[in-house]
Structure formats: C-alpha cells, structure tokens
Structure 1
C-alpha cells in the first residue's frame, strides 16, 4: 500500500522531524535580566463567618439525673446529631459522665428539626 510519500515527508508532516534550517548567527545573549521587583502580597481579611446551621434532624434526649442515689434530681437535655435513638442515648450517657452525674432516668428521646 503506497501513498506516494516518503518517510521523511511523513515525519515533516507530523512535525516529528523538522527540516534542518540553514545555520544562522547565534542568537544574541541578552544582558543581565532585570532585577525582580519584590511586592508584598496584600492579604485581605475574611469576614467572620456565621456558624453553620446543621440541616437535618436532631435527636433531643431528656433525662432526670443526680449525683447521688435518691438525691436531688435535675433535668439534663442533650442534643445529638446521630439518627439512631440508641446511639443518641449512649452519647448522652457519655456527656453525663463528663458532667459528673452518676444516676439517670431517661424521660424522652424526640426528634427536633
């Protein structure tokens, strides 16, 4: 299968082999490059962002808690971002332990939008 082109012509057509140019005078070497100017970047301060509001359901766990057995009970409310009621209750129990409460009774677990 002959297309009538030689290998050299195909290389030139594809840009793989450029024809040798006539030797020319060497390019003049430019003088020392100009000294770079140092500019201090201007950093704009971002405006304070508003807190991101969580979208989606939140489970509110309400508990009656006390530090001593049969002692004075107080209402403890914990908002959980978890969707499982069991996991929300476990998270609330961990928060109780951090607050120093030892005894609790779960009043309710409701979904708050």
Structure 2
C-alpha cells in the first residue's frame, strides 16, 4: 500500500471530486449603472421587530388593607422566568395599593 499520498489525492479522499459550476456571466457596468440611475429614491422604511416569545409568569396574590379582614385575590403577570423576581415585582406593585400582601402561587403561562 502506498503510504505517500499526493496533496491532490488527499483532497480527493477528504472532499471527493469537486463539482465545477457553470460560469455566471456578470452584467456590464453600463447595465448596472442604468438600473441604479433609473431606480427611484425611496425613503427608508423602519422594520418592526418580529414579536418574539416573552416568558411570563402569573403570580396570584392575596391582599387586604385590614389585618385578618376581608381579603382579595389579584393576579399579576411578570415578564421573567425567575419566580423570585416575579414574586418581588408583584409584591412591590400590590404594596402601592394594599397594606397586607401574601403570595399564593406562581405559575408559568
């Protein structure tokens, strides 16, 4: 067996026979210039970013303004994957209106 291979034989062994693509003719410069000149100048249109999936957690809170009084359940949607951050955000938002806040549950939406 021949242990000394030429560079061409190694390339052929690794990559196989190369497929030669047909030549593509390029338009002449005058055609390109004519297309550029003839094209009207349009204003740049701002593309809106695609709506991507945002992770959301649904936090259920039990709130009240009276100690051991009538309580209400409120829901808060947090745009995060962290349950701790979602709890803190919901509690902070509920404290603006209510004095007593208790976290009941945190669920993924």
Q: Scaled by the length of structure 1, what TM-score is found? A: 0.49
Q: Distance in 2 between matches of 1:67 and 1:53?
A: 39
How many residues end up aligned between the 2 structures? 66
1:106 maps to which of 90, 103, 106: 103
Aligned equivalent of 1:58: 56
- In terms of Rg, which structure is larger? 1
Q: Distance in 2 between matches of 1:54 and 1:79?
A: 17
Taking only aligned residues, the RMSD between alpha carbons, in angstroms, comes to 2.6
What stretches of structure 2 of length at least 5 have no aligned partner? 1-47
Moved segments of 4+, more than 2 Å: none
Q: For 1:1-113, list aligned pairs within 5 A.
A: 55-98=53-96, 100-112=97-109
| CA distance 1:66–1:59, shift in 2 (3 Å) | same
Q: Distance in 1 between matches of 2:52 and 2:70?
A: 34
**Greater helix proportion:** 2
